[in-house]
Chain A
């Protein structure tokens, strides 16, 4: 399989350092090679290759029937993907920017998510798209709407932070029998590179990973803020504070055990996310720790998040809105003193 993919996939043959964006493209390419039930559906994904070029060249290789350009109709995209999945296909639906996913909110939360529970109908669909801020996209091209869907039983929600995970998790998502929402932080698209294995691999859904080991406190994060957290942890180490950094990778289902094991060790928890504060995953983690690790805590759970506002446009405003290393350092130092 790996060899075959290498022969047919020019991007793999030359694989050295791969961007996040390219990792996504490779995952789709290889899954389409592997399984003719995998089709793509979305706006401008065919001739144009996607607004961010994630499906560049896929139309040419897999043809019109498998790379389906649609009208600007997010509900129709999700609805049609759902219908296709009922006949055994595995559609990957692209939201050109993940902000537009809310246009299909009803289809996702009422139709797609409830089908298996209500009438035993699996809907193996992946809904993916570029999310997140930091690129001056303004209030409608920078959203982190993951928690709308983390609150919806029946969905799985993935938000990776590295090219390796992005590729491996996207493959797992395609092979999963459930609807999976796959958020790609566009700030990471071209900013990080990584050498990927030539052979086929997957990363399991629902498993967090410890990116850095430490003993004084645990920083829990995901997506772009994972990198901010790691930079902060490196600075903290110079001050003698050893922070453990957990990358959640999957938000639903949440890997509770990895979180609890870490808190058992460090006794302190700081959650860093780019999503707004109220109703963010930090609140859910706080509740988890209260329920299952109350005795382990030596300090309050702290959070560094975006402000409870829409994402503003001007760089100065957006910078103020977003979490950053300084904010993480400040919170971590405060927490470490407990």
Chain B
């Protein structure tokens, strides 16, 4: 393990890993007492990943956890009671019983975005968070996690690619725990290092031992700093191992014994304790103090959670929509002059960073050609010059001849001619397009019938 952290930082990492494991141990007990309503997912053996990465963030930064990132939530400042109550579907939980597990967030204070069960969706969402933060001048970094399994989703690609072209201040932690439910990583991705996926997006990446918390933290810190300085997005592959099944119901008998034995011998907390002891950062007394502190905290937090009521049934019907400012005031926190993004300062000539791209003018007004030759201009032209032969020199002679021949049997014309001459030819075509039916007469002021004038006034 590397050196160079402060004593407090070393001990913080230790505390949060121990807290992470203790919270989950307690939830296993609650699960066995039937006090947890739904599933329970474990991050046993992966604590160094959640803790080491989230610890690299500043308070103002944003994160979005996955199901095995309870440790990241604790580091960010979520009290254990919230995690207990979420799992127990209690009314005092962050979602008031409407969702479970780590599916909750806090936009206002802790800057946490709630995950959903569909994997990969957080990647574009956190890209948007990062972009908005940059737009508002907040100098934040956004971080989320994805598993080895989730890295095969389409939205992983869409999100990371978009983050890359935007150079978004975004860090994606690819938590490779070797198993996507029962499917080993080798059957999901034919790569030795999943970090290699970064090459496809032209972004930087790291691969790090996920059971070495100091290595995880140091790597994440460097990535976060780089992302904040405009060098993002950055992909970190963290190699670790899922010690238990997908969730409590799954004994994970599909995992080879040797593999499990290898990783169990590399428990991240045990490894870190050895390091701290050898560096004289932790002794038995210090360890006992931390254990007592955690035990005392969690026993109080559990009591609070257990005493919280279940939500009243009719609460199910509430809260689908934000009802307005009384419900939420949506207001961005500007940390740069608004004048920078409003005219006249924002009114700039279109200059694109790709050489030769977009240097021309835009296509010049509302009557520019669009799909399907459907513009008023095209229609007007077609109506104005019904006898004129198509002038388009682009049309090869053979095609023009075919068109002439087809004009003799006009019912087939419209569908067969190239799009760029369709509008001109269609004037000759007897095929009645639906356009004729409700298009306004040229002189007509409006084809629109309004409510009575009085009623319309009232609408305004």
* Contact assessment for A136 and B103 in the assembled complex, using a CB-CB cutoff below 8 Å: no
| Minimum distance in angstroms from B364 CB to a CB of chain A | 9
Given contacts A17-B446, A88-B330, contact A71 B135 (CB under 8 A): no
- Which residue of B is nearest A78, CB measured? B124
B interface: dominant SS: loop
* Contact assessment for B448 and A162 in the assembled complex, using a CB-CB cutoff below 8 Å: yes
* Contact assessment for A52 and B415 in the assembled complex, using a CB-CB cutoff below 8 Å: no
Contacts of A194 in B (CB 8 A): 446, 448
Contacts of B126 in A (CB 8 A): 83
* Contact assessment for A83 and B438 in the assembled complex, using a CB-CB cutoff below 8 Å: no
Distance, CA A115 to CA B64, complexed state (A): 14
Distance, CA A19 to CA B446, complexed state (A): 10
Q: Mark B421-460, 1 if CB is under 8 A from A, else 0.
A: 0000000000111110111100001111111100100011
Contacts of B452 in A (CB 8 A): 213
The stretch among A31-39, A259-267, A281-289, A291-299 that forms the contact with chain B is A31-39
Given contacts A76-B127, A79-B128, A137-B371, contact A315 B362 (CB under 8 A): no
* Contact assessment for B158 and A75 in the assembled complex, using a CB-CB cutoff below 8 Å: yes
* Contact assessment for B414 and A315 in the assembled complex, using a CB-CB cutoff below 8 Å: yes
* Contact assessment for B162 and A209 in the assembled complex, using a CB-CB cutoff below 8 Å: no
| Minimum distance in angstroms from B265 CB to a CB of chain A | 39
* Contact assessment for B434 and A119 in the assembled complex, using a CB-CB cutoff below 8 Å: no
* Contact assessment for A118 and B124 in the assembled complex, using a CB-CB cutoff below 8 Å: no
| Minimum distance in angstroms from B334 CB to a CB of chain A | 8
The stretch among B224-232, B296-304, B337-345, B392-400 that forms the contact with chain A is B337-345
Cβ of B333 < 8 Å from any Cβ of A?
yes
The stretch among B7-15, B242-250, B317-325 that forms the contact with chain A is B317-325
* Contact assessment for B94 and A119 in the assembled complex, using a CB-CB cutoff below 8 Å: yes
Which single member of B162, B440, B460 contacts A192 (CB below 8 Å)? Answer: B440
Cβ of A163 < 8 Å from any Cβ of B?
yes
* Contact assessment for B98 and A118 in the assembled complex, using a CB-CB cutoff below 8 Å: yes
Which single member of A82, A91, A177 contacts B328 (CB below 8 Å)? Answer: A177
Contacts of A164 in B (CB 8 A): 448, 450
* Contact assessment for A106 and B118 in the assembled complex, using a CB-CB cutoff below 8 Å: yes
7 residue pairs, one from A and one from B, having the closest CB atoms = A83-B128, A79-B124, A88-B332, A80-B128, A63-B346, A73-B158, A87-B132
Subset of 26 A-B contacts with CB under 8 Å:
A36-B341, A36-B342, A37-B330, A47-B362, A59-B362, A62-B346, A75-B121, A76-B124, A76-B155, A76-B159, A84-B131, A87-B133, A90-B330, A111-B116, A116-B320, A118-B95, A137-B371, A177-B325, A187-B434, A190-B376, A191-B447, A193-B447, A194-B446, A209-B459, A315-B431, A315-B432
